[in-house]
Structure 1
Amino acid sequence: MSKKPHSVKVPTQYRATAKILKSALQQRKSIKALIAEEKHARVRSLQAVLKHYSDNRGAIESAIEQAGLLKDNPSLEPCLAKVLVTELIFGRKQLNGDSRPVQTVRSYQEKLQQAVSGAGIQKKAPNPRYVRINTNLYSLAEALEHLAGEEWRRKEIPADASYDDFLKAVKSMEEDEFMIDMHVEGVLIFHPKWGSYWVTHDLVRTKKFILQNKATCLAAELLAPPVGSTVLDMCAAPGMKTTHLCNVMQNKGRIYAVEQSADRYRDLCDITEQAGCEIVSPTFGDVLTFLPDRFPGVEYILVDPSCSGSGMQNRITVCDEPKDDRRLYLLAGLQIKILSHAMNAFPDVKRIAYCTCSLWKEENEQVVQRCLQINPSFKLLSCKKALRNKWNNVGDKEYPKIGKNCLYALPDSDLTDGIFLALFEKRREGEKD
């Protein structure tokens, strides 16, 4: 004898996701923290559904209202409804089980789809999957040979192609194609469909490939420490940029990589060892307490401090997050301290790259402006020129001599995470603007 619909339980995965969504909306808790607390569900599945909701929540809530789903079914729990609609319209396009909530939402599928289509809303297109070759362990030639063996087709563009031409080529890639990035040679670009494919790939597991967004690869690319140089990575964990610096230097020289969080320091040690970084010296502690005698001869410094993370595309937000001026003020204060320490404490420094994954001016142009005011021995270099002028987005023109020299990578136009970059150079004695 079959169970009645109302006696069939909602699948655990849907209930766990709805519980997290409800807590996030009502208590303004972090989605990341709530997922970490969930013990009885598949984390990747939770993240996928909540990310779809985060990207399309306006369309989902509008469709629910237009279809009359909650109005017609007042006993249907609202957050569970949002989860089920998300999965049905923007996720896997199907629902598991035969519980009453699942059957109810299924019965509204046509109305929900019409509401979304009628509003002209399309699912937000994900950005490409970026994979960086770890040249400590694997060469570009080996990578290309392996990909050919997996029947990937390389899509090439002319050497004189513009940045806009490059972006058009990326957007029009077929599913079985890949490209080599025009700015960072070791970065490979794949169709968005293959985002999760690479997570479990053997080349990633063995650290021959590193999953790193193209935007964050620009930090090491612009700092460009020569082979054999001495580098300080001031806020190094989890270590993606550290391993990239090691690649740029061909694993020759010295990289001091500092991290003050014990857990993140262990992650840093693990990845640099697994990635074959022979020149990296992980150091546990607060970089503001370290002076030149601890890191002698430092010539190049990467400053990638804690920031708001407002540019990160893997962030999941389920409600409008108001700008937190107090938090930005505190973050900027720390960022200025760390960047100024880089400029003052190391007498041999030649070049400094400052990087955030933030789109707020308070953490970007304003930090650069303040540090130049209190450290006049440094000047800004043009990030755009360093990329052969093949870039579009620079800083805010309201900051004279600063904005035009800084760089933004923006998710919608550059198909990357959102980051900010500034490049400083030590002035020669007597040099003025």
Structure 2
Amino acid sequence: MALYIKAAEILEKVERKKGAVKTLVYDSKYQNIKQLFALVCETQKYSEVLQEIIDTTRLLKDTKLRIHLAKALVYDLLIGQGVKCGGAWKAVMLKHRSRLQAALARIKVRQKVSRNEDLLPPSMQNIGGVTIPRYVRVNTLKTTVEDVIDYLKREGYSYHGTASRLEDLYRLSGKEFLKDLHLRDLLVFSAKMDFHDHYLYKAGHIILQDKASCLPAHLLDPPVGAHVIDACAAPGNKSSHLAAIMKNKGKLFAFDLDAKRLSTMSTLLLRAGVTFQQLANEDFLKVDPLCPAYKDVTHILLDPSCSGSGMLCLSDGGSEEQRRDPERLQALAAFQLRCLNHALRFPRLQRLVYSTCSVHREENEEVVSACLQNNPAFGLVRLLPEWPERGLEPLAQCLRASVTKTLTHGFFVAMLKRRLQTPGSSMELSSRVTPPAQEERAETSVEDQPPPAKKKKRNRKKPKKQGT
């Protein structure tokens, strides 16, 4: 019953604009975050349909349920996988199931559709029936990709090698799986596959993380032994990914203003085998870039609070509710820009990845453009030239992600790199700081290229005078 109580509380807070779904879900401290997040998102997506069913059946009057709780229960009863609680609530829902099902059937007949998904507005439908696969990141602090593949094969899973194109992921079903075509430590399964009770997940050998969410750490790619900041770190999946890339060597400073989220993150990192992190319940904007503790920080991952519009409805267009709230978007963008400007003040910073789970230009391209105007010492890096979805013009160096074009949640990623300075400058960027693996994946834009070296003049010896 706790699942539906939490879902109802979050749905009510979202409706009253008390926070974004993603933030509210993680703040709830509910044990199964994924389950709660999915229920809230799907209930919100079908909200109008559920409201009509509840109104026409007079469910609230007959059951004394509150509207948000009723919506969550009716969603799971009619559209989800069944009510996940026992006791009085389940008995009530089963008692009214026949007339609730009849109400849903009448709506489908009236709208001349056969699938539940077809009842949604076009902007909220998975175009062409596309669903996001189950992505599983192998935690290389505890195991290897090859060992996980062998383990799953012994359990009856069918491995089909590395995907060669995005279309390969559409065909996955049952226990079939592939290695991702872009990220070396990511495995891909059918959308219905669930690993929350699997040994590999409970032991921290695999991390359940959307592909788009894996991009920031993958692209930042700090070298082993580096000093790195994860500026807005909780709930911790990106921090654990950074730790795996760095092989638990160096320093990882992780900040988050929310003590509850940081506590959850500490548990996640412990399970993942991360040992070199320094967690701080601190506002990143109040961290002093000139503090001696951060004098060797060269890489920063900045994933600040955002509208979460890429997570809410799994569509390219973002949610209608987010579009109708320009003031909130403006406030979020201003906060994001402050964070970005602040991060670039760390004196030895070489690379920074900025990411959001938003689909809105205001939080993405416009924030990055404003930051570059304020910080001419930094330029954009062109990321993954083969990636199918680019940042909106003129920032095509950046990446976007979406359910229809990349089979992920909506996401945005930009990388800023310090420009080369004149020889002898304290800010000169040595070629040694960039790992070879990263240079293969990140193609630097023309504006980041150093000027051509001047040709040295040849010293020609004067011929000796011949004696007379």
Q: One fold, TM greater than 0.5?
A: yes
Match of 1:376 in 2: 376
The answer on 1:358 being equivalent to 2:353 is no
How far does residue 426 in structure 1 lie from its aligned partner after superposition? Answer: 0.5
How far does residue 84 in structure 1 lie from its aligned partner after superposition? Answer: 6.5
Match of 1:211 in 2: 208
Alpha-carbon displacement from aligned partner over 1:264-285 (angstroms, at most 9, x marks no partner):
2223333223322233222332
* Rounded Cα–Cα distance in structure 2 between residues aligned with 1:303 and 1:34: 20
8 Å CA contact retained: 2:400, 2:413: yes
Which structure 2 residues correspond to residues 235-314 of structure 1 after superposition, within 5 A?
235-288=232-285, 289-292=287-290, 293-313=292-312
How far does residue 396 in structure 1 lie from its aligned partner after superposition? Answer: 1.6
Match of 1:339 in 2: 340
How far does residue 97 in structure 1 lie from its aligned partner after superposition? Answer: 4.2
* Rounded Cα–Cα distance in structure 1 between residues aligned with 2:62 and 2:369: 53
* Rounded Cα–Cα distance in structure 2 between residues aligned with 1:324 and 1:211: 31
How far does residue 325 in structure 1 lie from its aligned partner after superposition? Answer: 2.4
Match of 1:56 in 2: 46
Alpha-carbon displacement from aligned partner over 1:72-105 (angstroms, at most 9, x marks no partner):
9996679588667634542237996476533432
> Any gaps of 5 or more consecutive residues in structure 1?
1-11
Alpha-carbon displacement from aligned partner over 1:321-349 (angstroms, at most 9, x marks no partner):
55322222222222222211221232x22
8 Å CA contact retained: 2:309, 2:319: no
Alpha-carbon displacement from aligned partner over 1:181-221 (angstroms, at most 9, x marks no partner):
11211111111111xx2112222122111111110100011
The answer on 1:129 being equivalent to 2:125 is no
Match of 1:145 in 2: 150
How far does residue 180 in structure 1 lie from its aligned partner after superposition? Answer: 1.2
* Rounded Cα–Cα distance in structure 1 between residues aligned with 2:407 and 2:97: 35
Alpha-carbon displacement from aligned partner over 1:341-383 (angstroms, at most 9, x marks no partner):
221232x221111111111112111111111111100000112
In structure 2, the CA distance between the partners of 1:108 and 1:17, relative to structure 1 (3 Å rule), is farther
8 Å CA contact retained: 2:131, 2:403: no
* Rounded Cα–Cα distance in structure 2 between residues aligned with 1:14 and 1:270: 21
The answer on 1:70 being equivalent to 2:56 is yes
In structure 1, what residue type is equivalent to 2:380? L
In structure 1, what residue type is equivalent to 2:216? A
* Rounded Cα–Cα distance in structure 1 between residues aligned with 2:387 and 2:221: 17
Residue in structure 2 matching 1:155, options 152, 156, 160 = 160
SS, match of residue 330 in structure 2: helix
In structure 2, the CA distance between the partners of 1:221 and 1:38, relative to structure 1 (3 Å rule), is closer
In structure 2, the CA distance between the partners of 1:20 and 1:284, relative to structure 1 (3 Å rule), is closer
* Rounded Cα–Cα distance in structure 2 between residues aligned with 1:144 and 1:265: 32
Count of residues in correspondence between the two structures: 400
Larger Rg: 2
8 Å CA contact retained: 2:390, 2:396: yes
* Rounded Cα–Cα distance in structure 1 between residues aligned with 2:288 and 2:267: 23
In structure 1, what residue type is equivalent to 2:371? C
Answer with 29-38 or 180-189: which moved more. Answer: 29-38
In structure 2, what residue type is equivalent to 1:139? T
8 Å CA contact retained: 1:395, 1:407: yes
The answer on 1:414 being equivalent to 2:410 is no
The answer on 1:202 being equivalent to 2:194 is no
* Rounded Cα–Cα distance in structure 1 between residues aligned with 2:104 and 2:376: 63
In structure 2, the CA distance between the partners of 1:134 and 1:259, relative to structure 1 (3 Å rule), is same
Match of 1:229 in 2: 226
Over the aligned positions, Cα root-mean-square deviation in angstroms equals 4.0
How far does residue 303 in structure 1 lie from its aligned partner after superposition? Answer: 1.1
* Rounded Cα–Cα distance in structure 1 between residues aligned with 2:196 and 2:270: 19
* Rounded Cα–Cα distance in structure 1 between residues aligned with 2:56 and 2:10: 17
8 Å CA contact retained: 1:303, 1:353: yes
In structure 2, the CA distance between the partners of 1:84 and 1:112, relative to structure 1 (3 Å rule), is farther
* Rounded Cα–Cα distance in structure 2 between residues aligned with 1:22 and 1:231: 36
Match of 1:175 in 2: 174
Match of 1:8 in 2: none
8 Å CA contact retained: 1:54, 1:318: no
Match of 2:325 in 1: 324
In structure 2, the CA distance between the partners of 1:273 and 1:37, relative to structure 1 (3 Å rule), is closer
The answer on 1:90 being equivalent to 2:79 is yes
Match of 2:436 in 1: none
How far does residue 261 in structure 1 lie from its aligned partner after superposition? Answer: 2.2
Q: Percent of counterpart pairs with the same letter? A: 31
In structure 2, the CA distance between the partners of 1:74 and 1:204, relative to structure 1 (3 Å rule), is closer
> Any gaps of 5 or more consecutive residues in structure 2?
84-88, 119-125, 423-427, 429-445, 448-468
In structure 1, what residue type is equivalent to 2:100? V
Please report the TM-score for the alignment, with normalisation by the length of structure 2.
0.73
How far does residue 425 in structure 1 lie from its aligned partner after superposition? Answer: 0.8
SS, match of residue 408 in structure 1: strand
* Rounded Cα–Cα distance in structure 1 between residues aligned with 2:197 and 2:148: 17
Residue in structure 2 matching 1:429, options 409, 421, 439 = 421
